[in-house]
Amino acid sequence: MPRSVRHLAVLASLLLLSVFPRPIQASVILNTLQSSDTNDPGWTGRLDGLMSGSGGNTNRFLIETSGRVQRQGERDRIRLQVSGGYQESDHVETARNAVVHLRHNRQFAGPWSAVSFVQVQHNPFQRLNSRWLAGVGPRYDFKRDDEGVMALGAVPMLEVERLDGQDGHLTRGRLSVFLHMSRRLSSNTKLDAVAFWQPLFSDVSASRAVGNLTLTVDVTGEVDLKVGAAVEDNARPPVGVERTDWSTFMGLGVSF
């Protein structure tokens, strides 16, 4: 792509983000798969961010950010992901959430690998004081090459949850089943589809799920533009929390 066209794309993206900022969505499941599996050896990282504000008749402030640091060895990958967001309208807080995720992947012979992770999440607007997750399980890559990825995994995990307005904590087991498909449409464009399903061991109908579709366009090599949509469902949400969320988004990311 010519440099002048890339610069125009970055400028257009920034203008779109300032006019149509993405509202914060309270994600029940962190997407840890999409566009994050890089095989570059050693240390790599990525930053994504969005900030928007307005005043006068409507006072609004919104900030969202996420980051990833990864170390890739010959057979092991360790990745730390952090994401968070804050939003207020007319000086009243309307959204706040934060997630920290630490993951280890161990590649075995052939298409098999092992996934282990620990995660903590905070979102008072879902009455979620804290949710700790820890799990380990297998992943199978049906396809992984320069053209794309198709992978399926199933990770049993322990969940410890503290809800606002309830004494003590709730401990239970879940299964996290995930499907990741991506395809490179051109030298600088990739389409990602990710789905998670997380039922309780004790009651399969009490499940959480998310589907995410993202188109990523490489703008300058280190900077890319992302456009997509997500749908989230919690079959047993806390009282006062909607069961289903959906969102569309557009954002810029920087890799290093």
pLDDT at 29 over 60: no
Tens-place pLDDT, residues 189-237: 999 999 999 999 999 999 999 999 999 898 887 888 888 888 989 998 8
pLDDT at 177 over 90: yes
Shortest CA distance to 34 belongs to which of 195, 217, 145, 146?
A: 195
Look at residue 34 in the predicted model and tell me its pLDDT: 56
Tens-place pLDDT, residues 119-156: 999 998 888 899 999 999 999 999 988 899 999 999 99
Residue 84 in domain: no
Residue 46 in domain: no
Residue 208 in domain: yes
Residue 134 in domain: yes
In this prediction, residue 14 has a pLDDT band, given cuts at 50, 70 and 90, of very low
- Who has greater pLDDT, 85 or 36? 85
pLDDT at 19 over 80: no
In this prediction, residue 15 has a pLDDT band, given cuts at 50, 70 and 90, of very low
Q: Say how many domains are in the chain.
A: 1
Tens-place pLDDT, residues 57-77: 778 888 888 889 999 999 999
Residue 61 in domain: no
Residue 44 in domain: no
Length of the chain: 256
Look at residue 85 in the predicted model and tell me its pLDDT: 87
For 154, the domain range is: 3-38+93-255
pLDDT at 252 over 80: no
Q: What is the CATH number of the domain that holds 14?
A: 2.40.160.40
Look at residue 94 in the predicted model and tell me its pLDDT: 87
* DSSP states of 22-62: PPP---SS---STTT----SEEEEEEEEEEEEE-TTS-EEE
3-13: average pLDDT: 48
Residue 83 in domain: no
pLDDT at 113 over 60: yes
- At residue 17's C-alpha, the angle toward residues 11 and 19, to 5°, is 105
Residue 74 in domain: no
**Of the given ranges (23-27, 29-33, 72-76, 223-227), which has the lowest mean pLDDT?**
23-27
In this prediction, residue 23 has a pLDDT band, given cuts at 50, 70 and 90, of very low
87-102: average pLDDT: 90
Half-sphere exposure of 199 (CA within 13 A, CB side): 6
Give the integer Cα–Cα distance in Å for 230 and 250: 12
